[in-house]
Amino acid sequence: MIVAGEPSGDSHASDLVHQILEKEPNASFFGSAGPKMRAAGVEAIVEADTLSVVGVGAVTGAIPMFLSVLNKLKKAAAQRNPDAVILVDFPEFNLKLARSLKKRGHLVIYYISPQIWAWRKYRIRTIRRHVDLLVSILPFEKEWYASQGVDHVVNVGNPLVGQVRSSLSKAEFCSKHGLTAEDPIIALLPGSRSKEITRILPEMLAAASRMADADSSIQFAIALGPNRTSDEVALIRKNIADRGQQLPKNFTYVQNETHEALSAADAAAVTSGTATLEAGILGTPMAVVYKVPRLDYRLLKPFVQVPHIGLINLIAGERLAKELIQDEFTAQALSDELLRLLDPHVNAEMRARLHQVSDEMQAGGSDAQAGEVIIEFIKSKSADAFR
pLDDT digits (tens, 9 = 90+) for 101-139: 999 999 999 999 887 877 677 789 999 999 999 999 888
Q: Give pLDDT, residue 378.
A: 95
**Mean pLDDT to the nearest integer, 364-370:** 61
pLDDT of residue 305: 63
56 confidence band (pLDDT: 50, 70, 90): very low
Q: Is residue 164 part of a domain?
A: no
Looking at the structure, tell me whether residues 244 and 367 fall in a common domain: no
Give me the pLDDT at residue 117, please.
78
* Better-scored residue on pLDDT, 160 or 176: 176
* Same domain assignment for residues 231 and 324: yes
Residues 141 and 197 in one domain: no
Beta strands in the chain (DSSP E): 2-3, 30-33, 43-47, 85-88, 108-111, 133-136, 153-155, 185-189, 219-224, 251-255, 267-271, 286-290, 322-325
pLDDT of residue 224: 86
Q: Residue 387: inside a domain, yes or no?
A: no
Residue range(s) defining the domain that contains residue 127? 2-157+363-381
Mean residue pLDDT across the chain: 87
Instruction: Let me know the angle formed at the C-alpha of 307 by 301 and 311, rounded to the nearest 5 degrees.
Output: 95
Residue 265 has pLDDT above 80, yes or no: yes
Same domain, 195 and 303: yes
Question: Is residue 296 assigned to a domain?
Answer: yes
In-domain check, residue 165: no
- Whether residue 99 is found in the same domain as residue 182: no
Q: State what percent of residues in the chain have pLDDT above 70.
A: 90
Whether 54 shows a pLDDT value over 60: the answer reads no
Count how many domains the chain has.
Answer: 2
Q: Are residues 248 and 279 in the same domain?
A: yes
Domain match, 200 and 289 both: yes
- Tell me: the pLDDT tens digits for 227-257? 677 677 677 767 777 777 677 778 898 988 9
Say whether both 268 and 126 belong to one domain: no
Q: Is residue 46 part of a domain?
A: yes
- Residues 275 and 258 placed together within one structural domain of the fold: yes
Q: Is residue 386 part of a domain?
A: no
Above 80 in pLDDT, residue 348? yes
Structure confidence at residue 55 (pLDDT): 41
* 35, 146: one domain: yes
| Alpha carbons 333 and 329: distance in angstroms, whole number | 7
Instruction: Supply the Cα-derived Rg of the chain in whole angstroms.
Output: 21
Q: Kindly state whether residue 197 falls inside one of the protein's structural domains.
A: yes
Q: What is the residue type of 303?
A: F
Indicate the range of 95-99, 315-319, 342-346 predicted with least confidence. Answer: 315-319
What is the CATH classification number for the domain harbouring 41?
Answer: 3.40.50.2000
Amino acid at position 204, single letter: M
Residues 58 and 175 in one domain: no
215 belongs to a structural domain? yes
In this structure, the answer to whether residues 270 and 317 fall within a common structural domain is yes
Mean pLDDT of 339-352: 97
Distance in angstroms (rounded) separating the CA atoms of residues 40 and 58? 30
